[in-house]
Structure 1
């Protein structure tokens, strides 16, 4: 049933015969619009995270025009609303510090303007969760337009994957196996087009999750950014959002717990980034208590959902372009469907169920998207560990680390901050062996600040030159989804607020047992109590501004690192703005 025009939000701004609406109409006319542009039509916000310094979104300047075309074709009135861009490699200390700021901006942009629905344009790591968190909290119809992956890289006939091969070849350079000239050739060949990292990093992971949640058009998440199909998809998003407004298909009417369980399933099968846990937990808590998922849910699903996307870094060969040609997200989800691993009745933004959207989906390369009977890893991409070192949990990506390190006991080598760590790992005389457990702390949500991607702790140069390419590392930081190795991350509670990671001393013995899902510091409770009594919290990270708000309200990694006052459980929905 079509929603009456008079019930649209935008009609409150434009329709009444009063002085305030006269002002709205006259100012729209000032910009060259005509009454016919908005009369009887939905106003569609296009939240665009383009900027001159966001490489993943460099094609969005054109895509926004293609979205507008679709909105106009369907009888809507499009308006572009720029939002903070959050370019992953350039924003310091980390884009994670500003994910919640993008969520706030998205929510308030949509609430404060005369808009009835929204197209959310994102893709670079934190933009997907930030946009969706804000839109979920706002509650108007929305559709997500993923940026898509860039084309595969190339160097001397070798296929390069952004991020993953950066780490790989950097270690070879540190070992003296690559020259300066060769390094510069790699630099110029590893990122060749607009779009996100073309490995299964955080960007590709979160775009896939957005599709699994039903917030994109079918198949949208894996289209390469510069493919003509991506242009057509952008226009289709513009057309579809107009219908969603008339249908009043809001996030509250779309999301159920089944949607988030589908998202976990897809995340595990695609060999997801460890960051998926933080973002998906936060998104589920925005959607309401009935949708909330926890670390335990991730671990439960990891036991039954194998990794079937043979895409780096979990895979050993292929990239997102290959994944798309092999059938893309619809192909992967069709395999999960056939294995009975998806809720097929979950509704999506095109008004059809996941099951209906997967009709006719197929896989065209069984090595890129493996059958469930021949996975690249028998369990899911992530495992959640708990123990006295991480009472509230931590995470490891076993599909991307050396098998012999899945059970490891060794002495700790502790660093209190990243500069000290980096200086030490570059020291050729560092007292370290491959059996050590490298510890980086005070790098969590508050300590980082913002939980930077320092968790793929560099292997000491001394060991790299000996041929060591993986060793056990533990931190309260995150790591890039393009990273790999035996890295235990997101230790919660973090060291900065007094978590037990703060009490570890160099030489302490630590055991990590991934099959048993345990992490244990071999120090008595009595000794830990003595150390805690002597512990002093590090200095404040912020004295003013956004940083103070961040420090006061950021929650720990196991809760999704959202601000406490933004969660649904904090209070009721915000009233619509008064128009006087």
Structure 2
């Protein structure tokens, strides 16, 4: 049993008075001290319900015999930050979150930690902190939001549908009144976005890693089941402290492999690649090894679950279909069942004991013999345009454009690109190249989903493609490749592309090629130069320290 009540030991008794200054009693300090890392704020829909989640977690900690102490950390919403300079801060916030939790937990000698989050960079940032700390940790997310009503060909509208509608307006296919009305109806509740984007992908991956209790990742935010799961999480963290089941016993190379297998089977966000690399880095595992594993498993694991935007089934449907446990049961023979989880039991035990609340949906979650797609959910792309890899998502790309050849039209920022789209300058056959948006060049590696959604709204989803050294959201559709490394700011080949160059994208065979002679590229490189942006504060530090996307965008 793990020793608790450290502030009652002779070594730390001198610190006890300050703890009592925070209204903690001798009895409180004799119990396991559980840090509650709460990313609540009033601006982000995925986080404005987390005060209630935290209260139920604290109730559970008390019930389990521990003492909860809550503290806050930041949380940025990609949907609010996208399309402007705020997007530069989103990926850097991940490392800030990991740092802040590490600092708080180390400085105050927490016995255990509950991580409360929901959205894109917050969940991986918290998992990175758990990997660093190697104390008992559990992550509980705030749940997905409910979907809006139908809009044109979209069965269940979400926040990204507004961007598509804006593209329709620019093409004369919708009115501004319709776009404005959609902003009111598309997000009817708190929670992470309704689709299988980065937020829900990373919440599900936390469960697949064994860091969240079974069946909790996909519970919608408004459901009472979410609160019961929060209370159970509070009880369970005290048990983990007593049994000394630390994050280091849960987060391992094997558990990451389980998460990769799950990712392939469900077609999650491409951003999961950069986050899994970063989590591995914190565990002392080479991100290159993770990239190779993702590439390997993508050729073996078919997509057996199909969630919006790849289908009309949203995250609430996925919850009713059985969520993560239902998928992992279908994958059971391929997984490392002996991995420890926060239940205090192995993954195999969890799957054997799990009781589903609702009937199976055999169309949403299929078996390995009847997949939605034989291609894995994520594709690692290579070629002379991406020597150190790029990332795509076959399940999010229509079969008509999984192999695409077109002419480059180049933009040196997201703003230049979206302006050109709004002016209807993108035509069928174009490969839209958005560069200098990588970790160093952006800096911060902004998401380019706005460009692809606008093109979708203009009816160009199947006749154009988008490639970038930036990132994409899980809501992307059309032919796209992101995370191109080396990035333009590092002199990668993407910096040398010129308007009119022929580019071929072959998602099936994982090839990204620029059809320009080597002699011509050498000539272009001789005249190429790069002047870094004048930066200050956090972005200056990030641009100086950030590694490339294929290395997880971590800080050196």
- TM-score w.r.t. the length of structure 1 is 0.90
1:133-163 superposed Cα distances (whole Å, 9 cap, x missing partner): 0121122110111121111221479742424
Q: What is the aligned residue count?
A: 547
Secondary structure of 2:91's match? Answer: helix
2:102 aligns with 107
Say if 1:392 and 1:292 are closer, same or farther in 2 by CA, change over 3 A.
closer
Output the CA distance in 2 between the equivalents of 1:182 and 1:101: 39
Deviation at 1:74, TM superposition (A): 1.0
Structure 1 residue 342 corresponds to structure 2 residue 335: yes
Structure 1 residue 533 corresponds to structure 2 residue 526: yes
* Unaligned runs of at least 5 residues, structure 1: 565-580
Report which stretch shifted further, 361-370 or 234-243.
361-370
Structure 1 residue 356 corresponds to structure 2 residue 346: no
1:400-439 superposed Cα distances (whole Å, 9 cap, x missing partner): 11222222222211111222222222234x3x53112111
Alignment root-mean-square deviation, CA: 2.2
Output the CA distance in 2 between the equivalents of 1:292 and 1:167: 34
CA contact 2:36–2:115 (8 Å) conserved in 1: yes
Output the CA distance in 2 between the equivalents of 1:279 and 1:65: 28
Counterpart of 1:37 (choices 28, 37, 40) is: 28
Output the CA distance in 1 between the equivalents of 2:63 and 2:220: 25
Say if 1:167 and 1:370 are closer, same or farther in 2 by CA, change over 3 A.
farther
Deviation at 1:335, TM superposition (A): 1.2
Structure 1 residue 479 corresponds to structure 2 residue 472: yes
Counterpart of 2:498 (choices 499, 505, 524) is: 505
Output the CA distance in 1 between the equivalents of 2:492 and 2:551: 15
Deviation at 1:291, TM superposition (A): 9.1
Say if 1:515 and 1:292 are closer, same or farther in 2 by CA, change over 3 A.
closer
1:574 aligns with none
Output the CA distance in 1 between the equivalents of 2:165 and 2:114: 39
2:236 aligns with 240
Say if 1:156 and 1:439 are closer, same or farther in 2 by CA, change over 3 A.
closer
Counterpart of 1:446 (choices 437, 440, 456) is: 440
Structure 1 residue 60 corresponds to structure 2 residue 50: yes
Report which stretch shifted further, 526-535 or 292-301.
292-301
Say if 1:350 and 1:541 are closer, same or farther in 2 by CA, change over 3 A.
farther
CA contact 1:456–1:485 (8 Å) conserved in 2: no
Output the CA distance in 2 between the equivalents of 1:247 and 1:459: 48
Counterpart of 2:451 (choices 432, 438, 457) is: 457
Say if 1:156 and 1:396 are closer, same or farther in 2 by CA, change over 3 A.
closer
2:114 aligns with 119
Secondary structure of 2:203's match? Answer: helix
Output the CA distance in 1 between the equivalents of 2:237 and 2:130: 13
Say if 1:358 and 1:464 are closer, same or farther in 2 by CA, change over 3 A.
closer
Deviation at 1:538, TM superposition (A): 2.9
CA contact 1:163–1:482 (8 Å) conserved in 2: no
Say if 1:399 and 1:167 are closer, same or farther in 2 by CA, change over 3 A.
farther
The equivalences for 1:67-216 within 5 A come to: 67-91=57-81, 92-94=86-88, 95-155=90-150, 159-216=155-212
2:256 aligns with 260
Say if 1:119 and 1:178 are closer, same or farther in 2 by CA, change over 3 A.
same
Deviation at 1:50, TM superposition (A): 0.4
Output the CA distance in 2 between the equivalents of 1:213 and 1:464: 36
1:28 aligns with 19
2:291 aligns with 295
Output the CA distance in 2 between the equivalents of 1:416 and 1:467: 21
Counterpart of 1:270 (choices 266, 269, 272) is: 266
Secondary structure of 1:154's match? Answer: coil
1:569 aligns with none
Output the CA distance in 1 between the equivalents of 2:142 and 2:453: 33
Secondary structure of 1:372's match? Answer: coil
2:387 aligns with 391
Say if 1:381 and 1:550 are closer, same or farther in 2 by CA, change over 3 A.
same
Structure 1 residue 223 corresponds to structure 2 residue 219: yes
Secondary structure of 1:349's match? Answer: coil
CA contact 2:437–2:445 (8 Å) conserved in 1: yes
Output the CA distance in 2 between the equivalents of 1:469 and 1:408: 9
1:510-535 superposed Cα distances (whole Å, 9 cap, x missing partner): 11122221111112222211111111
Deviation at 1:185, TM superposition (A): 2.5
Say if 1:199 and 1:60 are closer, same or farther in 2 by CA, change over 3 A.
same
1:570 aligns with none
Secondary structure of 1:394's match? Answer: strand
